[in-house]
Chain A
């Protein structure tokens, strides 16, 4: 499995191919969202909502052989695309890797200007919540 940084480089080069065309970039983010695995309908409950997001984002995590698995969904396609990028980078890794991950691809892509400040705040909340889950599993695994 590729390292977090290799995956980040991959994502950055994918976005570089799209160039400055804002419309294609947004469409691409939406397409990424379509690839998110089906999210269990009964998990679409308020307690799984990420606070600080304007749109609805449900995120759950599970532990599998010492690795953290993430499952997410959203009621908007662009947000689904954003969370799918995060899952691509962070899913199925040890809690330590996730906690220490420096997600520089977001700035390298210039995501802030692509999605605007409202959504950037939401994206930061998603990362925070993913790291919180990792921290919780780390505590549990070390207990």
Chain B
């Protein structure tokens, strides 16, 4: 599909509504993106025509549901360029994907006095699972510091690496700042000392081209709902040889090869990690979201979002009292900011009065907010369907709000 913005917007029914008498401007895409009609149709179509439990079914509906479900796994494989679709595990979301690694890989391979490295800009979901593991195992959590502009200090990361480092779990693109981390360099350096690397791709997968083979990451976690797909669904990619070594996460149906009361043998990957009836409808609908992204191509999407971000930077930079938070050179389309003398929640509510949806608060990154000595920020995050006129509207709103305290 060529990049026809009007046509793209036409695919998203939710965008065409008024909020407080103004056209909705949806700038909360880092929290969740809107869904194209094809995703909504796929959900409905599944329940209307194909609803059936997958795998092992002898009947036609089960076969159809299974084929559609597994087709999405193939699409995810292509989307991240993994070697095989068996390396793609469906989860509830990024959070569950990370917890899965912590509870299986972590429990088996991380022991007393071992070290796990994360960064200052992690989402709580890439902090807490490791804290829980460290507490259980007597392992240590080490944190890469960041600079004032929101970039990690690579030399400090290198200093943290040592033979005790077993895992580096780092965010690919920061949800609160937009910073894109130099993950390829991080992965190389970690591998040199024998540590594995998990990438939190929740914020990167919708913007950046992801090639897990080229990156050589050991794990990649991401969520469907930030990729124009349904909520409650995520992916964990892992290298086959590591996934095979890992014990199962949840016990139940689907994940077994054979069960007797004496002993249970486990299924092959990916099924070993997909206990119970999965989120069939959402997986199938997610396939449509991936088709949508692929039809445009990440290059076109990123180019459009970059243009929106630079336009937003340009329109806001001279507003008196406007304080950008996170000014890394390499960013995804996130504009995080504060207004001098004002609480982010108030700013968010005032923008909402103009029909503009942004997120306010600590963005589940409290340690990062502490690093900057702030309580939170206002975050506008742009997606493929946003327009320059929406950015103008927001900048006008920000200027009006900023004037209250910055005359």
Inside 8 A of A20's CB, which chain B residues have their CB?
21
Q: Do A30 and B354 have beta carbons less than 8 Å apart?
A: no
List residues 1-46 of chain B with CB under 8 A from any CB of chain A. 20-21
B353 adjacent to A76 (CB under 8 Å): no
Contact with A along B353-365 (1 / 0, CB 8 A): 1100000000000
A7 contacts partner chain B, Cβ-Cβ < 8 Å: no
**Pair B343/A77 contact, Cβ less than 8 Å:** yes
Expressed in whole angstroms, the minimum distance between the Cβ of B18 and any Cβ of chain A is: 11
Does A115 reach chain B (CB closer than 8 Å)?
A: yes
Contact residues, A1-46 vs B (CB, 8 A): 20-23, 25-27, 30
Q: Which size class do B's interface residues fall under?
A: 10 to 19
Give the Cβ gap from B152 to chain A, nearest Cβ, in Å. Answer: 31
- A30 near B404: Cβ-Cβ < 8 Å: yes
A47-81 interface code vs B (CB 8 A; 1 in, 0 out): 00000001100000000000000000001111000
- Kindly count the residue-residue contacts between A and B in the assembled complex, taking CB atoms under 8 Å apart: 39
* Residue B154 interfacial (CB < 8 Å): no
A20-B21, A22-B21 given; A78·B346 CB < 8 A:
yes
B residues within 8 A CB of A21?
A: 21
Cβ 8 A contact of A55, one of B345, B353, B400, B404: B345
In the complex, which residue of chain A has the Cβ closest to the Cβ of B344? A76
Point out the residue from B343, B345, B404 that lies within 8 Å of A27, measured CB to CB: B404
Given contacts A22-B20, A30-B404, whether A77 and B353 have CB atoms under 8 Å apart is: no
Question: In this assembly, does B406 line the interface, its C-beta being within 8 Å of a C-beta of chain A?
Answer: no
Residues 69-95 of chain A, each 1 if its beta carbon lies under 8 Å from chain B, else 0: 000000111100000000000000000
| Chain B residue at minimal CB-CB distance from A118 | B345
How far is A75 from B341 in the complex, measured between Cα atoms in Å?
A: 10
A78 and B354 within 8 A (CB): no
Residue B293 CB within 8 A of the other chain: no
Residues from chain A with a CB closer than 8 A to the CB of B21 are 20-22
Q: Check B350 against A76 for contact (C-beta < 8 Å).
A: no
Which residues of B348-392 are within 8 A (CB) of A?
349-350, 352-354
Q: A22-B21, A27-B404, A30-B404 are in contact. Are A116 and B349 (CB under 8 A)?
A: yes
Is B342 in the interface zone, CB < 8 Å from A?
Answer: yes
Task: List residues of chain B with CB within 8 A of the CB of A23.
Answer: 20, 350, 353-354, 400
> In the complex the two chains form, what is the Cα distance from A27 to B404 in whole Å?
9
A77, B401: Cα distance in complex, Å: 12
